[in-house]
Amino acid sequence: MKRIDGVALRAEGKRFEVLDQTRLPDVEVWLDGTAPEAMVGHIRRLSVRGAPLIGVAAALSVASAAERGDGEASLRTSIARLREARPTAVNLAWAMDRLRAVLEAGGGAAELVREAEAIHDEDVAACDRIGELGADLVQRGEQILTHCNAGALATAGIGSALGVIHRAHARGLDVQVWVDETRPLLQGARLTAWELGRLGVPYTLVTDGMAGTLFRAGKVTRVLVGADRIARNGDFANKIGTYTVAVLARAHGVPFHPVAPWSTVDLNCPSGEAIPVEQRAADEVLGAKGVRWAPAGARVFNPAFDVTPASLVTSLVTERGVVEGAWLSAGGLARLA
């Protein structure tokens, strides 16, 4: 495997490791990524997370197994198991389908490694392009709200929504960021705050329920969020709580942009209704880190994602261009394919 030195992934020779995001921000622990079955667990536990990153990490894991000598039957099983590890982010299925196609065309370890490296490199390049296109939308002194983590920890590159913030900051646009904590697993508080701190971007952390007050006070000028699956009609799934922010943005006349690489677009999915939404364990809502604060046995609803209709989107930023909301709703995405 070629040398990879990313924020969330690193590889060289026979070594491939993923940063354990469940341990951030306090400790940086790297996990072995070379065994596909262990990678299924890393993805399910959210040690590796974020739509583009899980596709890239799963691909590199299959490539490592092929390099180690796993046979075709075993590789096929690994691809199928990884494909099912999480259901909502289409990038995972997309990456696994690319590797399966290589096997079906008679490819061996060298071809699988090449394809996995291409999946990685394409995501890095997509993030760079998205960052530039998105930063063109941002005016000096903006106060941008983001939800969950759509940064370098969620991609192979500089991130999608956070990639735009990264580039806007690098352009000297004096942006400030409102970081939604993102209950229940706190990707905003733990991960986005960590990334923005490393980049030197000024940010303020708020709990999800505080967003309304910020909008009402005129303190949010733009919303940038990631996406896990974008349907053909522009509806998209992202971390639970994104829809609430989209409604607030519309109510207050604030521009709202999903930002994602093309690998997140699923033209086979007609609309948001057809996006599978992952349901997660009750204990994530009952408490955290082994401490329960809700009554034992309390009934819990814990969807990991929600769906925002295209009608609430000002524009979608992808590496293929910026698509206006009206055009999205009119089926414009298919024309970019």
* Contacts to ligand MRU by CB under 6 A: 46, 49-52, 89, 148, 150, 154-155, 160, 187, 226-228, 238-239, 304
| Nearest residue (CB) to ligand MRU, 96 versus 150 | 150
Which residue, among 288, 147, 251, 138, has the nearest Cα to 206 in the 3D structure?
147
User: 278 and 86 in contact (C-beta within 8 Å)?
Assistant: yes
Q: How far is the CB of 155 from ligand MRU (least distance, A)?
A: 5
DSSP structural state of residue 10: E
User: 254 and 221 in contact (C-beta within 8 Å)?
Assistant: yes
User: 260 and 282 in contact (C-beta within 8 Å)?
Assistant: no
Q: How far apart are the first and last CA of the chain?
A: 30
**Rounded Cα gap, residues 121 and 108, in angstroms:** 20
Active site residue 228: yes
| Nearest residue (CB) to ligand MRU, 141 versus 321 | 321
Closest residue (Cβ) to ligand MRU? 226
Q: At 139, phi and psi to the nearest 5?
A: -95, 165
Q: How far is the CB of 160 from ligand MRU (least distance, A)?
A: 4
Q: How far is the CB of 335 from ligand MRU (least distance, A)?
A: 24
Which residue, among 173, 117, 122, 123, has the nearest Cα to 151 in the 3D structure?
123
**Rounded Cα gap, residues 109 and 74, in angstroms:** 13
DSSP structural state of residue 80: H
Task: Answer positive or negative: Cα dihedral of 116, 119, 125, 127.
Answer: negative
Q: At 236, phi and psi to the nearest 5?
A: -145, 150
| Nearest residue (CB) to ligand MRU, 89 versus 137 | 89
| Nearest residue (CB) to ligand MRU, 187 versus 308 | 187
Cα–Cα distances (Å) from 72 to 76, 97, 129, 160, in that order, read 6, 15, 36, 34
Active site residues: 228
